[in-house]
Amino acid sequence: AQSVTQLDSHVSVSEGTPVLLRCNYSSSYSPSLFWYVQHPNKGLQLLLKYTSAATLVKGINGFEAEFKKSETSFHLTKPSAHMSDAAEYFCVVSHSYGGSQGNLIFGKGTKLSVKP
Amino acid sequence: DSGVTQTPKHLITATGQRVTLRCSPRSGDLSVYWYQQSLDQGLQFLIQYYNGEERAKGNILERFSAQQFPDLHSELNLSSLELGDSALYFCASSVASRNTEAFFGQGTRLTVV
């Protein structure tokens, strides 16, 4: 069965310092993986996606993620945080069948705070 | 702008009432998802449709129902509303029913008083 674990519920960084949001997944086959961002009272926006092409995926707003099959990880990084990056981030795995969670399995989210 | 349109943006209604939330998917997308997001429960999957047919069902209450119409728009009906139904309701759409990203609307904020 597919599952997603976001290892930190809250991450706090200073503006200009690197961001690392951690995500581990469980999948019985090669998955499709995504990161979404949600600003307060807004919809979820797709940041980036991995679909078995390059293992290092570049997304919007300077974010990138690296797919590591041996570690079953898909961590999200950014070299330098901006105040506007403060939001909640969701790691998502997509699989082939429906069920009680649908085909998109969401992690519980990581709230990123950015200090001036 | 994701291309997914949800109406209304805000809805305030009384307990016991019935409301309908509407979603227009992105052009070309065949799959529609509904999610409920609240502070205590987080993001909860409700139901997914693909080309008019129910594809997956989550923690959707019996008081709630949904459908996807031939023009691919979808409606989520919530009846006998309770205070605990107050939440953000999101619709998302995708081109396929699996192994693909979904694009989310801005949500409908439902407040039950």
Tell me what the pLDDT averaged over chain B comes to.
Answer: 94
The token duo for A74 is: 């898909």
The nearest alpha carbon in chain A to B50 belongs to A98
* Angle ∠(B52,B22,B78) on CA atoms, nearest 5: 95
Note the Cα A26 to chain centre separation in Å: 14
The C-alpha atoms of residue A72 and residue A61 are separated, in whole angstroms, by 25
Residue A103: per-residue pLDDT: 77
With 80 as the cut, is the pLDDT of residue A52 above it? no
Beta carbons of A94 and B98 less than 8 Å apart: yes
Q: How many interface pairs between A and B have CB atoms less than 8 angstroms apart?
A: 73
The C-alpha atoms of residue B21 and residue B67 are separated, in whole angstroms, by 11
The nearest alpha carbon in chain A to B32 belongs to A102
What own/partner pairs with CB < 8 Å and gap ≥ 24 does A48-55 have?
Answer: A48/A76, A49/B101, A50/A74, A51/B99
Confidence of residue A96 (pLDDT cuts 50, 70, 90): low
Chain B neighbours among A 14-73 (CB < 8 Å)? 32, 34, 36, 41-46, 49, 51
Residues of chain B with pLDDT under 50: none
From B36, B45, B81, select the one nearest B63 (Cα to Cα).
B81
Residues of chain A in contact with residue B2, where contact means CB-CB under 8 angstroms, are: 43, 45
Beta carbons of A98 and B57 less than 8 Å apart: yes
Q: What stretch of H or E contains B76?
A: strand B74-78
